[in-house]
Chain A
Amino acid sequence: DQQVKQNSPSLSVQEGRISILNCDYTNSMFDYFLWYKKYPAEGPTFLISISSIKDKNEDGRFTVFLNKSAKHLSLHIVPSQPGDSAVYFCAASGSNDYKLSFGAGTTVTVRA
């Protein structure tokens, strides 16, 4: 039962351009959303999060947008840099739910 879906397994973008990663969820009880970044042979590391009371959260080059009515969130990276090449996971949890449900990930490749 995949409650968090990332339908694009890969994304290739030129350095300096914007990367847009998308994520959809089905569980209406989810109210906290996170993005994790993973390099090969390393564990996932936290990137940015957003609570359902907001529709946008920005941290430097990274912005997450949340559309609750559509059960959709997106991560914007601008400008994209070669070091951003990694797998990005979308994750979600509900109130009082301590575990995270993850999407399958999107592999981002930033071309020089």
Chain B
Amino acid sequence: DTGVSQNPRHKITKRGQNVTFRCDPISEHNRLYWYRQTLGQGPEFLTYFQNEAQLEKSRLLSDRFSAERPKGSFSTLEIQRTEQGDSAMYLCASSLDRPTGELFFGEGSRLTVL
């Protein structure tokens, strides 16, 4: 399977704990995106990378959130001191390097904060 891969698929944690999600994009895609989706809403943009450079961050990405893409390959999204409001599906997508390119999404990582 050469699609976008995310893990873990589901993470249950207690409030205040740190969690990390990993995304492996399609190998030839140099752009990588993180989105968050809550119940009844569409995906909301969090951040994106071109290769290893983080080019844009949404105001939704508070200082408890950090994303990295070392070496321009896989990416990690870490949430520190989780809150119940962080419970959501975290979606990763990748694309080729053109503005109107289609985004290819992974299956998502669902976070439940108790």
Interface residues of A (CB under 8 A from B): 4, 6, 9, 32, 34, 36, 41-46, 49, 51, 89, 91, 93, 95-105
The answer on a CB contact under 8 Å between A49 and B102 is: yes
Is B43 close to A, CB under 8 A?
A: yes
The answer on a CB contact under 8 Å between B99 and A41 is: no
Tell me the minimal C-beta distance from B96 to chain A in angstroms: 10
For the complex, what is the distance from the CA of A100 to the CA of B108, rounded to whole Å?
17
The answer on a CB contact under 8 Å between A104 and B42 is: yes
Of B31, B40, B42, B95, the contact of A89 (CB 8 Å cutoff): B42
The answer on a CB contact under 8 Å between B56 and A99 is: yes
The answer on a CB contact under 8 Å between B43 and A44 is: yes
For the complex, what is the distance from the CA of A89 to the CA of B56, rounded to whole Å?
23
Of B42, B50, B101, B108, the contact of A43 (CB 8 Å cutoff): B108
The answer on a CB contact under 8 Å between B48 and A43 is: no
A32, closest chain B residue (CB): B100
Contacts A43-B91, A45-B105, A46-B103 given; does A99 touch B33 at CB 8 Å: yes
For the complex, what is the distance from the CA of A51 to the CA of B102, rounded to whole Å?
12
Contacts A43-B91, A43-B108 given; does A100 touch B41 at CB 8 Å: no
Contacts A43-B91, A44-B43, A89-B42 given; does A100 touch B103 at CB 8 Å: yes
For the complex, what is the distance from the CA of A6 to the CA of B40, rounded to whole Å?
11
The answer on a CB contact under 8 Å between A43 and B107 is: yes
Tell me the minimal C-beta distance from A8 to chain B in angstroms: 13
Residues of A contacting B25 in the complex (Cβ-Cβ under 8 angstroms)? none
